[in-house]
A and B are shown apart, each in its own frame.
Chain A
Amino acid sequence: MDKIVKSFKEVFRLCKMKDGMTLSFHHHLRNGDFVLNMVLAAAEKEGFKNLNIAMSSLFPVHETLIKHIKNGTVSGIDTNYMSGPLGEFISYGGMEKPVIFRSHGGRPKAIEERELLIDIAFIAAPSSDNMGNINGVKGPSRCGSLGYAFADVEYAGKTVVVTDCLVDYPNTPVSIDESKTDYVVTVDSIGDSARIVSGTTMITRDPVGLSIAKNAASVIAASGLLKNGFSFQTGAGGASLAAASYLREIMTEREITGSFCLGGITKYFVEFLNEGLFRNILDVQCFDLDAVESIASNPAHTEISASRYANPSSKSSVVDSLDTVILGATEVDKNFNVNVHTDSNNIIIGGSGGHNDAAAGAKLTIIVAPLQRGRLPIVVDKVTTLTTPGKTVDVVVTERGIAVNPLKPELAVKLSGAGLSVCSIEELKRKAVLITGSPVIKNRKTGKVVAEVLYRDSTKIDEIRGIE
């Protein structure tokens, strides 16, 4: 028996693909991914229409979706994050049906509870054998963890592995095994390795970013959570990584050993693990090659599924055991609500990813952001788009002050007691407006709905309206 299929055309026939079906993809190849574009090019050639694309995140490389939306091959998108020209296209009303935005934890929940029905899952596999035992740690397009694809293969009608590295049976280690795989398609290349690893994984050199990072680390140090067994998640943005770097100094000085690091994993977390600062890394996605090498060789660095990471319907998920998370924001409002979906012009530039999952789970959720970007204040009266509800946000850290959510008065006392510059969120806004002036607020709620924002439990918490 052999599951190798020579072409996408043949796979479409074997999977009985029809117009209107939902095809799923995962985003571990990030901005270097070729698989979505390849599959859609073949689908277009075969004349398929109205496909629904359920991809965990979409990047600038997926700009080709614009063409497929225009020619009718694609008519729906279900995703957790969207950046690049596609976001702008959607924001200007380029697609008839609203995009469905979920979170990284909300997506596996929706799949497992049959809310998001996947007809065919296409799995970008850095290595596979002929029966579809795959992993992300071998091959020219290796990306490490394949955690976001697990729910897809478990619940899809058919699972198609797409690989550019066919190895002898049995492929080891196994992330997704042959019992889930229907077909294997081999291609020349599934991705551009230079763009698979994110370009954002460098500690910032911007002095304002460093100042914010230092404040964030000081908040953690003063919170009372920083003790043996401490667990931590941060994004791969430069300021978040700088905060992690400051935290490393504090943990070393206090001789603290953490339990686990979580989230998108970078070389900095790998260094923490190797230095004995943390006992484990729980990895749903690798952001650089150091992380890929580590997950391939260090048993303490473990691949986890998106469901285990953050599914709110799981019996438990890792975010529930998280002490602290540092997250970014394009806007924060006076109720501590956070927007990471849109910019101040209402253009889609991102999405929750794991933002509202980690915020909901962590004991201490810290938002780091500069008080102003360009001429715009970041603390506003009301966020343009609601990504993460303020009740799950504990602290907003800027370069000019730290605001603690009034729901956590005991935390404010601790931070003030440690000499940190704590003020109200209104005071932060006042400081921002002193510098930027009050921007004119446009009514963003009159255009047609171009996207729906679903919270991690699938309830709709906001709509994004098109720019008129």
Chain B
Amino acid sequence: MKRSGILFFPAFDWSLGDTHPEREERLLYTQEQFFEEGVMELPQVKQYSPGLASIHEVLRTQALFPSPDQPDLTAHLIAAGSAIVLGEAWAQHEIQNGFALVRPPGHHSGATVLGNRGFCTLNNEAILVNHLRTKYGIKKIAIVDTDVHHGDGTQDIFYHDPQVLYVSLHQDGRTLYPGSGFTNEKGGPNAWDKTLNIPLPPGTGDEGIHYILEDWILPRLREFKPDLVINSAGQDNHFTDPLASMNVTARGYGKITELIRPDLAVLEGGYSIESALPYVNLAIFLALAGEDYSHVQEPQKPQRPLLNFQELKHYVKELKVNNKQANPHWTIREEKSLPAGKWAYIPHSVYYDTEGIQEIRQDRIRICNQCGGTVLIESQHASTGERFALIRIPFQACSTCRQAGEDLWEDFMGRKTSVLLQDQSQDLIQFWDVHEGVRSL
């Protein structure tokens, strides 16, 4: 038995559209299942009530452009705020672990936010992680993302952060949204090998996922020695998922949870709302609480043929080789317009599928062996042409990087539509735009 917290926030009055997968009905049957089973009454379980994240807590982790004053943010602020409530309970030792069973999800939402993508606007786990680092000084965090989709938003946020190990298991980006998460995405210059992507072939199944966890991910976690382990608990690996085809069962998810032993699990995707969610959520939470999940049984049986286990082992072996041999994908430049030092340059683009927005990004990271390195992200909304900049001074920044960040802030104000200074080391957020000038948020 483990003292486990649960924060159930199904947002029964919020949807992205009447027939959208992210609709009121999504956690309705999970509620029915949990309430009927009496899960909240287990003696070791405590239920928490939702919270509301502040804009400050959001901006510490993500830059909302063109401005943080956005409509339709409330449900997302509650999902992120609820993750924080549970994180607080964990940090205060009220609980040994917890499950934020909340919607809407967050792991496709990245360092810059121009809109909703993959149903996500705010990154619940990332906001939670940075809250706990700021308030409790927690140093090393591992995030294991078991959603079937690559958690590209979470990867984007922590790509240059050497203190955060991000591991994502997902169905290969060649066959599934968002089309990223390949083995060569291993982290930025100051955080190389702190991102681990394991793209899997369709039909991997329980045995396959458990094998990869035991053979690859758990050893990597042991090596990293995190102070906090977060599980982005997406449920779309289930064999009934309408979008993916990974063939994992509810009990398979229970075992995944038991293997990862997360301190905090946060719900991500999963849209088989009748056939999977009530059972998968139950198995995950029972596993967290140290209860028997072996009787959790979805009515349907897996039908698609499982991938041959020997083939999978072979595939994983090759992946490991690819991962090891992958080369950095940035160019190093000394740029006159930037503060002194070497800057890695990574141009790329981000597509916001919900609203059809294309974002053009130019990311620059100051190479530093003292700290995580100051990050400059220039962002452009492709259709409106608006330009934004995010300047991030990292947690435990060295004095040179701090100065570099402050110089960039002075320099960029006035040159863009809006600019955000995200000083994580001093928990200081400043926002500039042409209408209101500089605001401390």
Whether A and B are associated in the same complex: the answer reads: no
